[in-house]
Amino acid sequence: MWPYLDRAICATIKSTTKPIFAEYVGKYMIEAIEFEHLTLGTLPPTIHGVKVYETNEKDLVMEPAIRWAGNPNIILVLKLMSLQVKVQLVDLQIFAAPRIALKPLLPTFPCFANIVVSLMERPHVDFGLNILGGDVMSIPGLYRFVQEIIRKQVASLYLWPQSLDIPILDLSTVAVKKPVGILHVKVVRAMKLLKADFLGTSDPYVKLSLNGEKLPAKKTTIKKNNLNPVWNENFKLIVKDPQSQVLQLQVFDWDKVGGHDRLGMQLIPLKILTPHDTKEFTLDLLKHTNISDPQDKKQRGQIVVELTFVPFKEDSAKFNDPLNGGDEKSFEDERLSGAGLLSVIIQGAEDVEGKHHNNPYALVLFRGEKKKTKMIRKTRDPRWNEEFQFTLDQPPLHEKIHIDVMSKRTRFSFRAKETLGHVEINLDDVVHNGRINEKYHLIDSKNGVIHVEIRWDTV
């Protein structure tokens, strides 16, 4: 990579030194300062050890110790009146320990979206200067003065907290989108549905889902022998992108034997909704999503639903929420009351060990609901990175979430499952702070640790 890095670094040097040189033009009879030659040579830097920092965030932070004593060809030309003075850098050596962060980490190659580089301290720069073959550094005091100027210029480029950000992947295409609100759906009723059975009736129910979600669809109750059913049932769906997501409504005829027949369907794009405003829709049911199908002339009945999109508080400004803009105290009060979304991300575990097998998975138990990660075979350090969500009417103050790490044998055995440890996490801090990201020692485990991130988003 060094030949390519050489060109990239030299291009950066030229662009950053141009305004610096411009400051000297007109002073000391200087008419122009230009590079006659600028190449870092053929010898690349060497890395003498790397320090890696462990964080609870989705990033990798490291500090390599870099030394470079290369064979560069750097010649600067100063135009003074009718004279040209050539200055050559010789014996250039640089010692630096930059901090390099790869973030955020993603499940898509190359597995990180950005490289962020910053200098935690000024690099050590050593060099000599020759003018027309003579050593200009023999002039008393000049060596230290010039070296200090160059050190300051180099360090000021990316000395922390300034950083060089290099984008690698487009986050919008690879990152998992964070939930931004809750869609409240009230399935009111349906009218004049198709007769699916020989006896001239149907047993209808409705399935609701948002496109782009892997979660199972919500379902209403079944109304037996009814072509004009009334449900008045309420559902909550997690919204991640209201500009592109669509609510899909499907009406089915329940059948005790075999598959359930679809009586009709409809789609409602969420972008037509105004945040916080409840809107009622009376929709003609279609055979499928191709609305212009000339063969789909059959009357399939209608469905009536009420929709309300409620953004989370911190996302309200994105959707022109007139309620947004309160002070910090009111925001805190809102977080401690009202409905919201509890997101639990099971990142991974370390040093979990079973007596008979090591095929770990995690169980999340909260308010009687049970969620399970995938099982990872033959490892003591599983990485799940799975998210589970719970929609709540009230903040989970004074409540705990229970997480079990289990192992399951992959073939038949009397000892098919065993517990590798568990932890109970108090949710008070999550509600007050909005988020926690911690590693917890597992109870009933010798050295086991589990990494969990929990968020509370209010609506």
Both 24 and 126 in one domain: the answer is yes
pTM, to two decimals: 0.62
Token code pair at residue 314 = 């911190």
The answer to whether 287 and 296 are in contact (CB under 8 A) is yes
Output the domain CATH number for residue 448.
Answer: 2.60.40.150
Are residue 200 and residue 100 in the same domain, yes or no?
Answer: no
Are 135 and 276 within one domain? no
Q: What pLDDT sits at residue 121?
A: 81
Tell me whether residue 323 is in a domain.
no
pLDDT of residue 321: 46
Q: What's the pLDDT at 325?
A: 47
Whose CA is closest to 90, among 43, 137, 45? 137
Residue 89: its pLDDT value, please? 82
- Residues 223 and 297 reside in one and the same domain: yes
> What is the C-alpha separation between 402 and 381, in angstroms, rounded?
20
Please name which of 35, 41, 42, 62 lies closest in space to residue 50, comparing C-alpha atoms: 62
| Residues 24, 163 within the same domain | yes
Q: Would you state the structure tokens that stand for residue 83, as one six-digit string?
A: 């004279």
CB distance 90 to 111 below 8 Å:
no
pLDDT tens-place string over residues 24-42: 787 767 788 889 999 999 9
In this structure, is residue 23 part of a structural domain? Answer: yes
- Does the pLDDT at position 257 exceed 70? no
Phi, psi of 232 (to 5 degrees): 50, 50
Q: What is the mean predicted confidence (pLDDT) over 232-245?
A: 91
Q: Are residues 228 and 157 in the same domain?
A: no
Mean pLDDT throughout 179-201? 85
**Average pLDDT value for residue range 159-183:** 76
More confident residue, 139 or 181: 181
What confidence score (pLDDT) does residue 104 get? 85
Distance CA(38)–CA(212), nearest Å, equals 52
pLDDT at 324: 47
- Identify whether 319 is part of a domain: no
Distance between CA atoms of residues 267 and 347, nearest Å: 35
Mean pLDDT of the chain: 84
Alpha carbon distance 357, 240 (integer Å): 38
Are 367 and 390 in contact, with CB atoms under 8 Å apart? Answer: yes
> In this prediction, what percent of the chain has a pLDDT beyond 90?
42
The residue range of the domain holding 245 is 181-311
Angle at 353 between CA 347 and CA 357, to 5 degrees: 110
Residue 172 domain-assigned (yes or no): no
Quick check: 322 pLDDT over 90? Answer: no
Work out the pLDDT band at 271, boundaries 50, 70, 90: very high
The pairs formed by 256-262 with CB atoms below 8 angstroms and a separation of 24 or more are 261/196
Measure the CA–CA gap between 375 and 362, rounded to whole angstroms. 8
Does residue 232 belong to any structural domain of this protein?
yes
Residue 114 and residue 100: Cα distance in Å, rounded? 10
Which one of 140, 167, 194 terminates a domain? 167
The amino acid that residue 446 corresponds to is K
State both tokens at 369. Answer: 């609901």
Do 187 and 159 lie in one domain? The reply is no
Backbone Cα Rg of the chain: 32
289 has pLDDT over 70: no
Give one DSSP letter per residue of 80-112, joined into a string: ETTEEEEEEEEEEEEEE-EEEEEEEE-SSTTSE
- Do 85 and 142 lie in a common domain? yes
Domain boundary among the residues 137, 167, 197 is at: 167
Q: What is the Cα–Cα distance from 50 to 63, expressed in whole angstroms?
A: 6
Do 95 and 121 belong together in one domain? yes
Residues 4 and 137 in one domain: yes
**Residue 394 within any structural domain of the chain:** yes
Chain centroid offset of residue 332 CA: 25
Looking at the structure of the chain, the number of domains it has is 3
Q: Of 311, 327, 350, which residue constitutes the final position of a domain?
A: 311
Residue 59 lies in a domain: yes
- Confidence band, pLDDT 50/70/90 cuts, at residue 64: very high
- d(Cα 220, Cα 279) in Å, to the nearest integer? 20
Mean pLDDT over residues 415-429, rounded?
91
Q: What is the pLDDT of residues 328-387, one digit of tens each?
A: 555 556 566 678 899 999 999 999 998 888 999 999 999 999 999 999 998 999 999 898
Residue 77 in domain: yes
Q: Are residues 306 and 353 located together in one domain of the fold?
A: no
What pLDDT was estimated at residue 447? Answer: 92
Specify the pLDDT at position 218: 92
pLDDT at 232 over 90: yes
Give the residue-averaged pLDDT of 189-195: 90
- Asked whether the predicted pLDDT for residue 175 surpasses 70, the reply is no
Whether 141 and 213 map to the same domain: the answer is: no
